[in-house]
Structures are given as structure tokens and as C-alpha cells.
């Protein structure tokens, strides 16, 4: 309705993600344009909204290969704490080496030197199991004691890596590479084979237990795979397999990356943690009264009504959108509300990462982590924010189909973790985003979990 006017071409915003493409036809267009009208490929327009950060820079216009410098993310300040129950790390699924200071810390030695293996295995395995469960209602069991091989999880990492390459490259380029069977397309092919085998196995395991379900009410509570099995449009196994792989890719790293940013932000905002715990308290008390003694686990239906927790999720996704870059292709010539002309075949990149930090959209405190902004004036209920303003789950007909599942999964994980543990981010880590289609932390996040005394 009131698009931000971005007057000049060729600006590049350094508070955005690193490794973004510069393009010969690089242009800047308002983010509040009508997204429905942009959909299929050709020239590239870079939709890089104005940004409120002081790191905003102007780079030379079209035709340059210059890139913005990587934004510097804060280093985590040290905080003196001694007792450690155990050490955990969330996302990303591939972490190279633990940071030196972390390796030297007491926590690391307490974990008998196997922290790195644990980080890699647990974060990846947890997210994989979590993504697979609503899909198949089959637990792949990656966290079981015998630590089965996780080829499918590694294959998914490869797919995400190559996805970024494909997003940045013109289709003709990666198609040629695919035809020549060279990397990264060759790696993608191998990963695809592994994923297909995994999905086939899960489908076979699941089909054994599947029964037909009828109306919507009966469908409630069934896994996603079963709902496809009962749909005559998906009676082709290849199509079904492709659909399931899409869901796995859409579901795993988005939730994993968001959880990481949530715990990172909460560790710096103890007041917000207290408010979340206050919101959880009545549910936890009921459970304790009913006889739960050690760990209080929050079930999905119990977290539905937790509005403050939802606001925390949205606030995190505003500043750290799991899918930071939307790529759209213009279906028909048009003029955007901002006055920018777009032409059939133009490719448009929308930086959700920048949009979440724009003063024109979120106000003067746009860079502050403040869940209260999501509440109505009286502070009682969540205010309506249109999806074209808060684009983290996309807007229009291609909106995220897993939004409710994602919110439910994240709420249960955060509620159960925060109620039972104090989460402390370990000192000395370099917090940086990773150049990827998903806004993951480059080095993961190391935290100490200490059982709360209650």
C-alpha cells in the first residue's frame, strides 16, 4: 500500500547476506510490490530493499563484479559460569571444526573430546528425525544408540549446497554442467539417488501401516505421506517421491536454522526468556500436579495458545528469515507499485533478510529484537501483519505449506528446552551466516544446557 521508494539503481546493501549475485541488469525494486504477478526467467533484477543499517553501502552500478563485504556479526561475549550439565549445539548440519577457545574450554574436555562428533551427529540427526516424523510417521531413528549411517542427511546437505549454485547461475549454465556430468551437478545426481532410495524405503515401511482415511476430521493427525497416498492425483510413485523429497528439503533446515537463531537471541535477552517461562508456567504446573516429576515435555496441542512464544518465533524470523532470498520470475510486463517496470522473463530476487530490517516497514527500532512489536496496542493479542510485509513464509499462492507444522515443532522444542534448562551460549564463537539458500549459522552454535533448579 505504501511501498518504500528506492530511487537509484546499483545500490548494494552490505547488511544483507554475503555472496549475493551482482548482475548486469541489477535493479532495485520495492519489496511491497505485487508478488502474485511475478512468477517464470530471463533478465535479472535484484530486489534489494533499502536498509536501515549503518552498514549500507553504494557500489558501482551495472556490469560490475564487485561484491559487498561480508557483514560482521557480533562475537559472543564471555560470561563466567562454571557448572555444566552437558553441551549441545544446534544446526548447521555440517560444521567444520570447533572454535579453538571452545575446544579448550572445560566443557569440551568434559565431553571427552567427542564434542565435534556429537555436534555434527546430534544436530543433523535431530533435525532429520524431526523432519521425517510428520512426513512418514516413521522415526528414522538417527538418534538411536547404534548411530546408524545418515547418508540421506548428508545427501540433503549436498542438495542445499547445489541449490544455491542453481539459484545464482543462469539455467543454461547449470544445464550444460549437468549435461557434461561435472561437479556440482554430478554430486547432485549422486545425492538424488541416495535420497530416492531413502524415500522409497520410508514409503515401503509406511505403506504397510496405511489405511484409507476419509473426511477432514479423520485426516487430522495423520502424517503428510499418508495424505498423499490417499490422493488420486499422486498415484504415480515417481511424483509422490519427488513431492516427499521437496517436503524433506523444505522442512529440515528451515526449522533447524530458525531454532538456532532463536536460542542465540534468547541467550542475549533473559527478560524475554522469563516472559516465555511465565507463559509456560500454568501448563507446567498442571503437568507437575498430574505427576510429571523430572522433565516437563510440552505437547503440540498445549503450545497452540502460547501467543508470546509465537511472537518470539516471528520476531526471530523477521530478522533471520530461514529462506533469506526469494527468487521470482515475471510472468507479464508490469509496473510495480513502486513505479519500477518489470518485463516478462525478468528474474527478481527479493531479500527477505533486508526487508526484515527496513525502517520503512518495521519502524525506527527495526534492528531491535522485540517480540512485543507483534502485539496489538492493548498487548493482549497478536496483531495482524499481512504476509507481504512479513514474507518469511512467502505470500500468495506459493506460501509455505508447512507453516503450521513448523510453528508447532519449534514451539514444542523451545518450550521444553527453556522450561527444563538454562541455555547459555558458549563464549568465543564467531556468529556468521553461511552463504546458502537457508540462513544457517556458518559454524553452528555451541550452547551449555544446565538443568534448572525448580
Least distance CB 115 / ligand HEM (angstroms): 27
Choose between 99 and 322: whose C-beta lies nearer to ligand HEM: 322
Least distance CB 254 / ligand HEM (angstroms): 3
DSSP bridge pairs for 448: 87, 424
Choose between 11 and 254: whose C-beta lies nearer to ligand HEM: 254
List the interface residues with ligand HEM, window 405-444 (CB under 6 A).
405-406
Least distance CB 247 / ligand HEM (angstroms): 5
**Residue (of 143, 254, 140) closest to 197 by Cα position:** 140
What spatial distance separates the first Cα and last Cα of the chain, rounded to whole Å?
Answer: 50
List the interface residues with ligand HEM, window 373-392 (CB under 6 A).
392
Q: How far apart are CA 446 and CA 162, in angstroms?
A: 26
Distance between alpha carbon 231 and the CA centroid of its chain, in Å? 29
CA distance to 69, 85, 234, per residue, from 452 (Å): 41, 10, 48
Q: How far apart are CA 371 and CA 307, in angstroms?
A: 10
Neighbours of 246 (CB within 10 A): 11
Choose between 247 and 298: whose C-beta lies nearer to ligand HEM: 247
Least distance CB 389 / ligand HEM (angstroms): 14
DSSP bridge pairs for 328: 348
The span of 58-66, 172-180, 234-242, 401-409 binding ligand HEM (CB under 6 A) equals 401-409
List the interface residues with ligand HEM, window 220-239 (CB under 6 A).
none
The alpha-helical segments, DSSP class H, found in 5-142 are 100-104, 106-110, 115-136
Choose between 173 and 399: whose C-beta lies nearer to ligand HEM: 399
Q: Residue 321: is the preceding peptide bond cis (ω within 30°)?
A: no
Neighbours of 172 (CB within 10 A): 9
Strand (E) or helix (H) holding 193: helix 185-209
Choose between 156 and 392: whose C-beta lies nearer to ligand HEM: 392
Which of 123, 251, 330, 446 contacts ligand HEM by CB under 6 A? 251
Least distance CB 75 / ligand HEM (angstroms): 26
265 makes contact with ligand HEM (CB under 6 A):
no
Least distance CB 66 / ligand HEM (angstroms): 27
Cβ atoms of residues 108 and 137 within 8 Å: no
Least distance CB 379 / ligand HEM (angstroms): 25
Least distance CB 329 / ligand HEM (angstroms): 11
Choose between 409 and 443: whose C-beta lies nearer to ligand HEM: 409
Cell of 202: 520410508
Choose between 15 and 131: whose C-beta lies nearer to ligand HEM: 131
Cell of 407: 510453528
Least distance CB 90 / ligand HEM (angstroms): 13
Which of 402, 414, 437, 441 contacts ligand HEM by CB under 6 A? 402
Choose between 199 and 322: whose C-beta lies nearer to ligand HEM: 322
Which of 393, 412, 415, 444 contacts ligand HEM by CB under 6 A? 393
DSSP 8-class letter at 98: -
Q: How many residues in the shown chain lie near ligand HEM by CB under 6 A?
A: 21
Strands 421-425, 445-451: parallel, antiparallel or unpaired by DSSP? Answer: antiparallel
Cβ atoms of residues 160 and 436 within 8 Å: yes
Residues 190, 191, 197, 202: what is their CA dihedral angle, to the nearest 10 degrees?
180
Q: Residue 184: is the preceding peptide bond cis (ω within 30°)?
A: yes
User: Is 26 among the annotated ligand-binding positions?
Assistant: no
List the interface residues with ligand HEM, window 86-145 (CB under 6 A).
134
Least distance CB 401 / ligand HEM (angstroms): 4
For the four alpha carbons of 248, 250, 253 and 257, in that order, the dihedral sign comes to negative
Strand (E) or helix (H) holding 272: helix 270-289
Neighbours of 314 (CB within 10 A): 18
Residue with cell 556468521: 432
Which of 46, 188, 306, 400 contacts ligand HEM by CB under 6 A? 400
What residue number has its CB nearest to ligand HEM? 402
Which of 398, 430, 451, 452 contacts ligand HEM by CB under 6 A? 398
List the interface residues with ligand HEM, window 313-332 (CB under 6 A).
317, 322-323, 326
Query: What is the contact surface with ligand HEM in residues (CB under 6 A)?
Result: 134, 246-247, 250-251, 254-255, 258, 317, 322-323, 326, 392-394, 398, 400-402, 405-406
- Binding site residue list for heme: 400
Amino acid at each position: 500500500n505504501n511501498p518504500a521508494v528506492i530511487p537509484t539503481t546499483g545500490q548494494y546493501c552490505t547488511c544483507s547476506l554475503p555472496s549475493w549475485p551482482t548482475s548486469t541488469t541489477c535493479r532495485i525494486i520495492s519489496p511491497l510490490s505485487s508478488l502474485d504477478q511475478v512468477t517464470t526467467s530471463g533478465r535479472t533484477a535484484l530486489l534489494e530493499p533499502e536498509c536501515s543499517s549503518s552498514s549500507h553501502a553504494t557500489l558501482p552500478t551495472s556490469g560490475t563484479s564487485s561484491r559487498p563485504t561480508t557483514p560482521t556479526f557480533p562475537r559472543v561475549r564471555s560470561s563466567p559460569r562454571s557448572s555444566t550439565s552437558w553441551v549441545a549445539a544446534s544446526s548447521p548440519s555440517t560444521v567444520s571444526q570447533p572454535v579453538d577457545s571452545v575446544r579448550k574450554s572445560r566443557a569440551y574436555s568434559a565431553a571427552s573430546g567427542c564434542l565435534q562428533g556429537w555436534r555434527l551427529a546430534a544436530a543433523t540427526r535431530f533435525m532429520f528425525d524431526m523432519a521425517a516424523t510428520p512426513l512418514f510417521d516413521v522415526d528414522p531413528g538417527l538418534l538411536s544408540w547404534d548411530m546408524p549411517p545418515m547418508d540421506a542427511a548428508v545427501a540433503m546437505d549436498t542438495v542445499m549446497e547445489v541449490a544455491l549454485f542453481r539459484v545464482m547461475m543462469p539455467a543454461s549454465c547449470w544445464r550444460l554442467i549437468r549435461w557434461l556430468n561435472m561437479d556440482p551437478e554430478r554430486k547432485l545426481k549422486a545425492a538424488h539417488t541416495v535420497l530416492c532410495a531413502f524415500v522409497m524405503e520410508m514409503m515401503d515401511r509406511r505403506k504397510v501401516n496405511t489405511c484409507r482415511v476419509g473426511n477432514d476430521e479423520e485426516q487430522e493427525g495423520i502424517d503428510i505421506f499418508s495424505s498423499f497416498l490417499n490422493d488420486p492425483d499422486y498415484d504415480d510413485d515417481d511424483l509422490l517421491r519427488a513431492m516427499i523429497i521437496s517436503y524433506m528439503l523444505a522442512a529440515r533446515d528451515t526449522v533447524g536454522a530458525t531454532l538456532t537463531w532463536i536460542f542465540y537471541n534468547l541467550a542475549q535477552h533473559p527478560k524475554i526468556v522469563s516472559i516465555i517461562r511465565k507463559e509456560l508456567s500454568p501448563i507446567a504446573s498442571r503437568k507437575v500436579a498430574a505427576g510429571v516429576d523430572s522433565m516437563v515435555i510440552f505437547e503440540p496441542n498445549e503450545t497452540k495458545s502460547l501467543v508470546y512464544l509465537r511472537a518470539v518465533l516471528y520476531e526471530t524470523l523477521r530478522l533471520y528469515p530461514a529462506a533469506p532470498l526469494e527468487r521470482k520470475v515475471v510472468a507479464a510486463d508490469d509496473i510495480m507499485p513502486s513505479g519500477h517496470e518489470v518485463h516478462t522473463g525478468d528474474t527478481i530476487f527479493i531479500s527477505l533478510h533486508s526487508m526484515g530490517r527496513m525502517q520503512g516497514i518495521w519502524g525506527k527500532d527495526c534492528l531491535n529484537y522485540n517480540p512485543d512489536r507483534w502485539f496489538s496496542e492493548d498487548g493482549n493479542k497478536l496483531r495482524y501483519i499481512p504476509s507481504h510485509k512479513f514474507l518469511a513464509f512467502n505470500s500468495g499462492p506459493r506460501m509455505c505449506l508447512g507453516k503450521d507444522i513448523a510453528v508447532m515443532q519449534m514451539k514444542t522444542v523451545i518450550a521444553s528446552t527453556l522450561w527444563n534448562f538454562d541455555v547459555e551460549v558458549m563464549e568465543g564463537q564467531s556468529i556468521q551466516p553461511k552463504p546458502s539458500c537457508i540462513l544457517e549459522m556458518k559454524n553452528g552454535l555451541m550452547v551449555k544446557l544446565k538443568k534448572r533448579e525448580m
